[in-house]
Structures are given as structure tokens and as C-alpha cells.
A and B are shown apart, each in its own frame.
Chain A
Amino acid sequence: MNIMVFIKQVPDTETKIKIADDGKSIVEDGINWIVSPYDEFAIEEAVKTKENLGGEVTVVTMGPKRAESALRTALAMGCDKAIHLEDDAFEGADAYSTAKALAKVIEKHNPDLIFFGKQGVGNDNTQVGQLVAEMVGIGHIGTCIKLEIDGDTIRGEREIEGGRETVETKLPAIVTAQRGLNEPRYPNLRGIMKAKKKPLEKLTPADLGLSADEVGLAGAKTVYLSLELPPARQAGKKIEVEPEVAAKEIVEFLKNEAKVL
């Protein structure tokens, strides 16, 4: 099976966010960059599927030079080759113009099964996998927590309010990975050594048959006007009293402040 997995490099969730002088982006100095946590589930599922059914896994990212290290992590986890969409023209992309470029990679390579994370943490769009599915014209299973492959039919369970639903579609198809799908493996030393020798191909918009104004900021449908720190939450009252008194205080609060009792 020809499997493809799309990953995004994002700031570590512990990162202290500082707003840049332009007032609409973050200061990137000192940020520790990681593979978006949901993409780790996507990588794991791709590699597991290859181990079970045979085939090859190609990992793809669009991002600046630094994103190469995310690809190497995925290769160390067992992906076979990597594609890096790297070009100044890709900068400033939103979900839409990201999907536009990624869809072309799928059209060029015709994978059978394609994995995305459910969400690139940070900007938290939760969109790119579904957008790509629509642009390529194939089915998708979103926020999947359990996947079953049965010939060219796949079935995935996803969480819905108060329960679960099972969605079925035919290959080729896109699956977006949610926590619960699997336990991602840690790359071991052998994997890391092997990853260094695995092929990594670079692609520009032109290689994908796209013009510079269809990608990145130029091709985006949404733009950040500004980025602000949230209004600081005021810590309220803090008490250290006997449990019975504390219970009374909480009930008072629920009654008089929150007005929910």
C-alpha cells in the first residue's frame, strides 16, 4: 500500500508566547519546535499500517528549513521517504492555501491511504485534512480514534457528543488522527541513524504546478490582523478554611456570584 502522512512543525505547547513587533505574529527565537502531537498519531498509524499490510510511507510537510527536523523525526519513527515543500512563497499560509499545496502532492503521487493529524496545535485550524479531501475529491474520516481496513473499504470510529459514530469510505481516502488512535512509538537510536540516510525531496510551488500567488500568504483566504495577549484573568478570592466552611463558601458563590443554584 502506498501511504502518505502529512505533518506540521509547531511550537512546543510549553512555549512562552511573545508577540512580535508587527503585532500579528510570534517571536520565533528560543522556540522549541516539535511535531504537532496529533501528527504523531498519524505517523504511528501510517507506519503500523505499512507493517501490517506492506508498502511504503511518505511523510510530507510544508514549512521553512527548520521543518526538516520534523521530517527526520518521522523517518526515524519508520517512514520511508520525505517530501519537503520549502520555498519563501509558502510562507504566511492559512489552512486554505496550505491545503491547496498539499492537495497537489497527493495528485502527483496518488497514495492509497493518507493520514493527517486532526489539528496543528498553535493555530488550531482543525481544517487542513478535510480541505485537502474536498480539493482532491475523495472521502475522509475525521478525528478517528479507531481504524479498520478491509480491502478497499475503511471504517473509522470518531467521537461525537455523548457517544461515537462509525464512518465508512473507500480508498483512496484521508484519515485525520485523534488521540486514542494508537500509542506513538519513540524513535530509537537505530531509527535515528537510519533516518539520516533516507531520501528527502524538496518541492517548490512550480514543481507542484502552482503559481506563487496561489500559495502562502498570497493564496490565503484569511489573514491575522493582530495578535494580542488575552485579558489577564484576575485571580479572585482564595480561602484556607475548614472543609464545612469551604463547602458553604462554594455554595454561596454558586448562588450569588455565578447564579447557577
Chain B
Amino acid sequence: MQYKTQSIAKTYWLGAMLIFAVQLLFGLLGGLVYVMPNLIPVDLLPFNTIRMIHTNALIVWLLLGFFGAAYYLVPEEAEREIYSPKLAYIQFAIFFLGALSAVVGYLFHIYASEARSYLEQPLWVKLGIIVAALIFLFNISMTVLQGRKTAITNVLLLGLWGIAVFFLFSLYNPGNLSEDKMFWWYVVHLWVEGVWELVMASVLAFLMLKMTGVDREVIDKWLYVIVATALFSGILGTGHHYYWIGAPGYWQWIGSIFSSLEVVPFFGMVLFTFSMVWKGRRDHPNKAALLWSLGCSVLAFFGAGVWGFLHTLHGVNFYTHGTQVTAAHGHLAFYGAYVCLNLAIMTYAFPQLYNRAPYNQVLNMVSFWVLSGGVVFMTVSLTFAGVLQTHLERVMGLSYMEAQDQLGLFYIMRLGAGVVTVFGALLFIYSLLVPRSAEAIAPNGAARVSAAE
């Protein structure tokens, strides 16, 4: 750790991991209700509450992870301490307490009187999020403005400002359902298929810079090309959500064409990470962080890119829209692009934050395969469920519940995959937080020396 204030990231990431665990616990409960619908009394904990906590916890911990990543990498990039550590901790307190009280409130059926999917937070929590975001942007922008400006901080800052600006649309909820939906996507789509990709690309660029030792000039150029393709495709790609909500028919063409191109930035990130590792001469000791970084680009390519393209053309989407196909895509896309990204930067930074050699790498790498295996299996199960549902309901004409009755096997498989996923996550958290005196498998010292020469 080169700068004292980088340790702010530790607080954010510990908070993020706690909420990560909550997210997965409620994911597991949701999967359980699909298999055993009478197990949990519906008055006590209905499915809508479970889903609300599962999705909100996901968003909140990913954002906490992004904040942590910014506090960690901006000092190194700007070559100066964070403008105000005190503000950073105040921001954390507001954001974390807001998130926590929202989740607890959901359990007692307290949420926004004008709730929408992902935006169930009561108004005072939304305002708290905005205040926290403003503090954060002020703090990070001041740090960057007074320090060295790099492509990585430029793109990261643009992404973070975009997150805050588009969140403001969560406050607008008109009475016309179709208009509501159109602007709801300004938050949801322009986040995850827009500005979040800027955060993802810049953090990956930072990791490549540090771990491969390739020239900054080369990395910067890749970064700009990747984020250009992300926004060129992603902005008009929003159209793929406007096919069936009462908007004009032209979105079917605009949405199909541009959202098909959304696969390009993700493939670009695969090429980027692999070619940097190939070209780089540095034999970085943190192999686990490298695995997560490469895994991030690959799984994001499949989850967001391939699984997204699978049902984005309007002729296909006409049949698959609103089935488990969407759920399958959502799970692998969020996991590959944003969960893996956060776990990559955490894996990279934790040894530095604790000023220790990379430890528990073996366990950490095992957790990558367990977690990723779990989520991939879950995605494939849901894809089968979705394809069958599409056929039964949208082609054969069965009613919703008649079709669902045929999907039981896939929901059992999904639940099993969920158990594996939770186990993988706990292993990850353990490997990061609990130091052990030696690696689970000792590295071959002699071989390492010769490889480094």
C-alpha cells in the first residue's frame, strides 16, 4: 500500500462482503420457495420480500465494492492521498446504514409507497443514497483534480458520475405505466449496460497495469476503445427493453441492432485481459487476482454478451420475454461482469491493505471455481427452464402455471447450484479474511525462480 488513505477501501469491502452474504442467503431462500412453496409461511416471508432483498443487496454491495475500488486505486493513479478520509467514512456510514435499514425494513414490509423493481427503497433511503453519492463524487473528484490525471481515473470518474446522474431518474414515477417503464430503464439499463461498464473496464485496466506490467500507453488505448464500443452499443441498446411496453415499433430495429453490438465491448475485454497477460513480462505473485480478472472478462462475455444476444433480437424476444431465459441471463451477467470484478480487485488489494504476501491463494482460487461453477450451472438450469417455458407457454399455448408445473426439475437443479454458490462465496470470504501461516498447497519454490528469470 503506497498511500495511507487507500485503507478506506478496507471498510467498504468488509461492508460489501457482509451484504454479499445477505444477498446469497436470500437468493437461496428464493430458490427454496420455487421448490417447496409451502415451506415458509407466506404471511411471514412472501416471495416478493425475498426477491427485493436479494436484488437490492446485490446492487448495494456491488456499489460498495465500486466505492472501495475507487478509494483504493485513485490514490495510486492520482499520486496523492484521498482529499478527505473523514468524508469517506461519513459517506460509508450513510450508505451502509441506509442499505441495512432498507433491508431490515423490507422484512417488516416497509418499502417505498411508489416502489418499482430494484427501486423499492423508501424515499428517505433514496435521498440518503444521493447524499452519499454526492459526498463520494466530491471527494474523489477533488482527489483526481489535484493529482495526476490518467485515462483510468477519467473513465472511472465518468462512470461514477453517470451512476449518480442516472439514479436521479428513480425519483420520477409518472402515472402512465408505459412512460414509467421508459424512464425506469434510464436507471436500470443505463447503469448495468452503460456506465457500470465504464467502471468495470477501468478497474480491469488498473489490474492489468499493475499485474502484467504492460505500458500504460497501450493499456489506455485499449481502455478507450473498449468503453467507446460499450457506450456506442449500450446507449441505443436500451431499445431492446422498449419492444413491448407501449413504445413505438421502431425500437424493435434500433434495439435489435445496437444491443446485438453490446457483445463487442465484452469480447474486447476478453481480448484485452488475455493479450495483456500474454504480452506482460511481470510474474506477479498474486495469481488468484489474475485468475479472477481473466475469469471476470470471460464470464462477463458469456453472461452479458452471449446470453444477452441469445434473446435480444426482437423476433426471438417476442417469445422469450418475461420467461426464465431473462433470469438466466441476469444471473450470469451480473456475476461475470460485476461480482467477479469486485472479487478480483479485492483479491488483488487485500494482501496490500494488510501488508502481507498474497496468502490463501490456493483457497481463493478454489473459491473461484466453486463459485463460478455454481453460477454457471444455475444459469444453464434456468436457461433450460426458460426455453421449455417459452415453448410450452408461448408456442403450445399452456397457461402460466401449467407450464411451470413442467419445470420442477430445473428449479431443483437451480437450488442445488445455489447451495454450491453459497459455499463458494463463504470460502472466498474466508480465504480473504482469515490469515493462515502457509498456503494450502506449498508452491514449488525452485520452479518459480526459474520461471521468473
A in complex with B: no
A residues whose Cβ falls under 8 Å from a Cβ of B: none
